Structures are given as structure tokens and as C-alpha cells.
Amino acid sequence: MQSLEDKILEKIKKAKRGSLFFTEDFLRFGTAKAVAKALERLVKRGALERIARGIYARIHIDPILGPVKPGTEEIAKAISKRDKARIIPTGRMAMSALGLSTQVPVNAVYLTDGAARHINLGKRKIVFKKAAPKNLSAIGAISSLVIQALKEIGKGKATDEELGIILKQLQKEEPHRLEHDIRLAPEWIRVIMRKALKSNE
């Protein structure tokens, strides 16, 4: 008869390297307490790596870099998928994603319609801030980042260089998504986004 540990290990080995797992992924094999203990033993054996409380990964091994841990974005997306919640990168993170800032923020902050929470990743943190559904209704990956980045920069504070980068990025957005998302932005941000729409035409 297979032990709980073996059942978990079998499921892990079927997943590709770099995959993330949550304690609840294995609850059909046993109680939460028993699963947590089995995962702990697998971490000690080196079969799994604990990323944060209740989050584990089958680490990807790069031939040159060696073990590569999943990035904050991968972890945040996995949590949002598990919780069936929407997330949008905000503030400095949105600026960094658009190329407006070279600084990678220490904490990855996301707006969510799921639960507000903090995930500790050693020196870094993923922060989920509860937001009104309207703030998560953007459908364009680029336009949603632009709205958050401009809110971080502030009204009338974007430099010509920053505006140039924003317009260049917005030109990559699908026009129907951009049109939809313009309606969700404050008026001063709409003015900037409409310029991208005009140049697309």
C-alpha cells in the first residue's frame, strides 16, 4: 500500500519542473495535518522546496544557473488561479513591468478581488490588497498596467520620456481592449490613453 508521502511524490513527479503546489492540492490523500507533515518530510528529502507557508515548488534546475526558484509573478498568478481571483500589479511593480523604472520593488503589490493577505518570501513579500471590482475590470494586460503606473506617478507628474514609453507600450495593446479600459480610467489618464488610440488609427 502506498504511503501518503509516496502518493504526494507521485503527483509532484507528474508535474513539470518549476510547478507550484499548495497544501490543499493533496488533501484527497489525507488530513491537512498529515499532508503538512508529509510535505515537510519531502522538503527534508529535497524532493520539494518550501516557498512560503503552504506553498511548495518542484524546483527547475538550469544547466548553468542551477536551481531556479519561481518568481513573485508566478507565485502571485498561481495564488490568483487557486483562489479564482483577479489580480493587477500596482504602483512600482506596474512601472517596472512597463520599463518606466529599472528598480525592482522589494514587495510585489497587487490589487485583488480575492482575500487581502501578505505572503512572506524571505526578504520579499507579495501583498494582495482588496480592491473594488471596478479597479479590476480592465481587460488589457498593457492598459491595466498603464492605469496603475500613472496613478503611481501622479496627475501631471509624468515626464515627456515617461509619456513616450507609455504611448509606445499602449500601441502594442489590442485596440478593442484599449477602448474598453479607457472608460475605466480617471479623466486625466484617459487623455493620455486616447493619444495611443489615435496613433493606432
Locate the domains of the chain by residue range: 4-68, 72-200
> What's the grid cell of residue 163?
509619456
pLDDT score, position 167 = 95
62, β-bridge pairs: 66
Q: Is the pLDDT of residue 200 over 70?
A: no
Average pLDDT, the chain: 92
pLDDT score, position 114 = 93
pLDDT band at 201 (very low <50, low <70, confident <90, very high): low
What is the tens place of the pLDDT at every residue in 148-163?
999 999 999 999 999 9
**Residue 49 Cα to chain centre, angstroms:** 19
pLDDT band at 185 (very low <50, low <70, confident <90, very high): very high
CATH number for 4-68 (one of 2.60.40, 1.10.3470, 1.10.238, 1.10.10): it is 1.10.10
pLDDT score, position 157 = 95
**Mean per-residue pLDDT, 16-43:** 94
pLDDT score, position 176 = 94
Assign 3-class secondary structure to the chain: CCCHHHHHHHHHHHCCCCCEEEHHHHCCCCCHHHHHHHHHHHHHHCCCEEEECCEEECCEEECCCEEECCCHHHHHHHHHHHCCCCEEECHHHHHHHHCCCCCCCCEEEEEECCCCEEEEECCEEEEEEECCHHHHCCCCHHHHHHHHHHHHHCCCCCCHHHHHHHHHHHCCCCHHHHHHHHCCCCHHHHHHHHHHHHHHC
pLDDT band at 168 (very low <50, low <70, confident <90, very high): very high
Q: Is the pLDDT of residue 98 over 90?
A: yes
Stated pTM of the model: 0.86
